[in-house]
Each structure stands twice: as C-alpha cells, then as structure tokens.
Amino acid sequence: MEFKGTDTPRLEWSGDALAVGLFEDAVEISGELAKLDEKLSGTLKELIEEAEFKGKEGSSAVTRVGPGAIRKIIVVGLGKPEALKLETFRLAAAAAARLAKKEKCKILAIDLPTYNDAPDATAEAIVEGVELALFKDNRFKSEPEDTGPGVERVELLGLAGQEAAISRAQLLCSGVNLARELVAAPANSVTPLTMADMAKELASQYGLELEILEKEDCEKLGMGAFLGVAQASNMPPKFIHMTYKPQGTPRRKLAIVGKGLTFDSGGLNLKPSGSGIETMKMDMGGSATAFGAAKAIAQLKPDVEVHFIAAVTENMIGGNAMHPGDILTASNGKTIEVNNTDAEGRLTLADALVFTEKLGVDAIVDLATLTGACVVALGDDIAGLWSPDDAIADELLKAAERAGEKFWRMPLEEPYFEGLKSLHADMKNTGPRAGGSITATLFLKQFVENTPWIHLDIAGPVWTDKDKGYNSAGATGFGVRTLVRWALV
C-alpha cells in the first residue's frame, strides 16, 4: 500500500473515495463543505441527513456519488473539538480505510484537520490507523477470505512533505504486525525453536546482535526458576537476547523483557476446559511485543541501545513436570516454593530480570500476559503498570498517550508481600486471590535490585474478540507502539 502527502485541495482531488472528517455537532454544510457538496450535487448533505451522522468519534458513513471525479464520499467522526487527540486521527483513518476496502476503492484520499499544528504527528497517526486496520492474517487459511481488491493508494490531503513521518509510521506498524502474527499463530507453529529462528532472522535482516542461551547455558547461570517451568516440555527452552546498538555512543541503554510461554497448560495445576486453555498460545504476548519492538527500533535507528530479552519455553505436564510444593532456586540465589504451577510466567521472568540487570542498563521494562486478576481489575482494553520509580513510569505513560495505548498505574502495596511468604523458602510464587496482580508484581520486584524498572501486565489488551477501531478481531500487537516511542524519547 502506497501513502502520499499532497497539497491537492479536496475540491480538485479525483479518485475512488474521499474521506472527510467532521466534528461532533458541527456537521452543518457551510464554507468549504458547501462548495464540496455543490460539486457533488448535494450528495454530502444527503448522506449526513440520511445516515443521521452526528460526527461522534469512530462513527462513519459512505455513499456513492453520481458521475464525476469522485466515486464514493465517506464521512468520519472526530468527536468534540476540545477532546481532539492523536488517537482520534487513528480511529478516523481506520474507519475510512475499512469503508474504502468494503466499497472496493483502490485509491482513497483522507482529509482531516492538522493536530496541534503538527503535520508530522498527524500524518503518522493517519498512516498507523490505515495500516493497522487493513492488516489481514490469512496464513492458516486454505483459501484466503480477503480475495477482493484492496486499497492500493492513500493520499493525505494537506500533508505534503511528510514522507519521513509516513515512513516512520509504516516501520512502526511493521513491528506491530509482527507481534500480531506471533500471538495469533498456534502453539504448534510458534514454539521455542521457531522463536529462536525468528530472532535469528531479525538479527540477520536488521543488524541486531544475538545471543541464544541453550538449556546447558541456563544451568550454568543457575536459572532454576526458568528451567523448572521448562522441564516437562519436549521442546528445549531458548533464552533469547537481541541487542540493537546505534552508531556512536548511545544516549542511554534500555531493556525490554517479554514473557515467552509459547503454550501454557497450567502444568500439574492443569487448566480445566472452559478456563481459556485453548487460547494459551497467547501467553507469549510479552515476547511477541518485544520482538515487534525490536523490528521497529532496528529500522528506525534511534540513538539509544536497546536489549530485548525473552526466556522462551512451554509449561507442560508429564513425568518431568515441576510439582506443587517444589522449591526452585533462581539465578540470584532466592528460593521459591511453587504453590501453583500455573503461575509460571513470573518464574521465567525472575531469571530473565536477574540476567537483564547484569547488563548495566539505565531502565528495564518487562511485559507479560501475567494475571487474570489484572483483566478483572482493568478490563480488556487497559494494561496495568507498576513501578517504584516515578520518573520512568511517567516517561512510559507519556509514550503510551502519544501511541494511543491505555495503561493505568497500579499500586505497589509492599505489605501485600506477606501473602507470598513461605514456611520453607524465601517466597511462594502466588499469594492470596485478592490483589493477585499486585502480589505478582511484588514477586517480580524481588529480582530487580537497583535499576529503574516497570512491570506491564498486558493480559487484557493483547487480544480482541471483535473488530475494534484499528484492531481487527484477534491479536492486537499491543505495547509495541508505546515501547518504541519510549525508546525514541
């Protein structure tokens, strides 16, 4: 799909579909709109009236135009002018793109206002909305569903000269779509072995440094928590460490650590039918986001060094499985009583965090589909954020706001760690049911000593069951855009 910024006025533009953005309760036909409506023989006014279009954010309508330079006219809602944000542009562009595709339009023009006198940010948001909305994953269909013509060219009216912004958005979306593909793929396709192969491919294609620790390497480093989870799988574990290094001295060094459970059966605390076990291919969503961020960052080439770490394995059952009651020793020497084998992600992250801190980075972000408790607390659209460091937390929240991804900072209630105390070990891997996402974070906190650190629980927004905005049903690639923007700060 080709994108082009142009200064062609909408009155002079010709092509398959013209999408015009309108604010809520301000859809009267006047000024330039009246001239456009006159050119379209009253079709625009008729569309607004017949569709009862009010301009609410995310709303849209389309109709055919009579013979002329434009075949279809699309209106998209921008909501209240005072509430305008970059996310509004993504949603409007996504709605326009979906309608254009449905109406079999190959050439689409999008005419939206400029956000805060920032044409570059406006262009980026529009391109992101279109790219993400039109992404389709047909890899596992014998006959692809999407056989009709697609949108081939998108022109951004009033945004000439924004080639760099358009390119940035496309590279960013390539990382999001990689994360989507990894999360959506079944567990017999995405395994520890294929994740390692993907890391090799990324490293080769985009100039990343790569280190893959095998089981024996992890044993030498004392990664008893990670290996305890891995021991029942027929697939060998892979501890993956990719590094992006800029030319010259990096401005700072960052690390992104993603949970990498390519399938989670629950272990001997087996997930029962109806518990969502069939969706546990998604339990590597954190590492998928890390891989997607690696792809985007390596192409965008910021002046920061970024490490991407994933302890990848399956959590299976069998004669070699860890038992409830087993005591594992993590690579920092801390002992863990396993009172629930289905709380395995935090065990893999424990050793990953110890490894990461030894790299001497300036900040660490880990992200994981870690707890159902976070989904109960925040729902499907919002991820939880925990950090003992206000400065780094504020950095990430600002990046998330620009990216349009929703996070909510949650409390690190230190007294809750009492619920993790074990009679025979330093700690248990789960605490009481109440505050489960908080105690999970307090568990992880035991494996980061001095480095500024953020934990993100993305269990809710990593997947959507229905089309929503620029996310089609399925994997969303959530978190990639926030992390990339954080690295670019």
Paired tokens of 162? 């924004």
Task: Using the predicted structure, report yes or no on whether residue 144 has a pLDDT greater than 80.
Answer: no
Residue 412: burial class (beta carbons within 10 Å; 0-12, 13-18, 19+): middle
Determine which one of 10, 71, 259, 346 is catalytic.
346
* Residue 346 appears among annotated catalytic residues: yes
pLDDT of residue 25: 79
Task: Using the predicted structure, report yes or no on whether residue 38 has a pLDDT greater than 70.
Answer: yes
Mean pLDDT of 7-32: 90
Give the whole-angstrom CA distance, residue 244 versus residue 262: 24
Element (H, E) at 230: helix 224-230
Give the whole-angstrom CA distance, residue 308 versus residue 452: 16
Summarised one tens digit per residue, pLDDT across range 258-296 is 999 999 999 999 999 888 899 999 999 999 999 999 999
Phi-psi region of 67 (alpha: psi -120 to 50; beta: other; left: phi over 0): beta
Mean pLDDT of 236-252: 97
Summarised one tens digit per residue, pLDDT across range 425-480 is 999 999 999 999 999 999 999 999 999 999 999 999 999 999 999 999 999 999 99
Summarised one tens digit per residue, pLDDT across range 54-106 is 999 989 999 999 788 999 999 999 999 999 999 999 999 999 999 999 999 99
Q: Which domains are seen in the chain, by residue range? A: 2-158 (3.40.220.10), 170-488 (3.40.630.10)
Task: Using the predicted structure, report yes or no on whether residue 146 has a pLDDT greater than 80.
Answer: no
* Residue 71 appears among annotated catalytic residues: no
pLDDT of residue 148: 65
pTM score of the predicted model? 0.97
